[in-house]
């Protein structure tokens, strides 16, 4: 079985997580999520596996977060997931999927819990 990593090559944590997976001999499918964002269903599945709400997977310091008023508590799950799909820069990274589990590589060692 191979792992899937939603990766941003410009991010140090993402690069470190990828190196950690490689060092552990894991077969990896790399998805540069800024170029190929997850679908609604994929993002919903990731959130379920991480057991977090959409806002917990958002990069709140991004300008688009403020511009779209994503801190507005009236926004529902569908609106937040849609915002991440349309603006993938909002998605926290890296996300690793392996063996029907998910982990956010912050810090990178966190992904070892699902290997």
Active-site residue set = 11
H or E segment to which residue 21 belongs:
helix 12-23
Please name the residues in contact with 30: beta carbons below 8 A apart, sequence gap of 6 or more: 5, 7, 18
Of the candidates 16, 21, 19, the residue with the CA atom closest to the CA atom of residue 4: 21
């Amino acid at each position: 079985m191979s792992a899937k990593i939603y990766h941003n090559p410009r991010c140090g944590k993402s690069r470190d997580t990828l190196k950690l997976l490689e060092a552990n001999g894991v077969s990896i499918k790399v998805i540069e999520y800024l170029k190929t964002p997850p679908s609604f269903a994929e993002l919903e599945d990731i959130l379920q596996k991480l057991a977090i709400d959409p806002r917990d997977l958002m990069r709140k310091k991004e300008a688009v977060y403020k511009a779209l008023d994503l801190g507005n508590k009236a926004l529902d799950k569908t609106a937040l997931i849609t915002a991440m799909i349309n603006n993938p820069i909002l998605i926290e990274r890296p996300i690793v999927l392996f063996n029907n589990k998910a982990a956010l590589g912050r810090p990178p060692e966190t992904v070892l819990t699902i290997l």
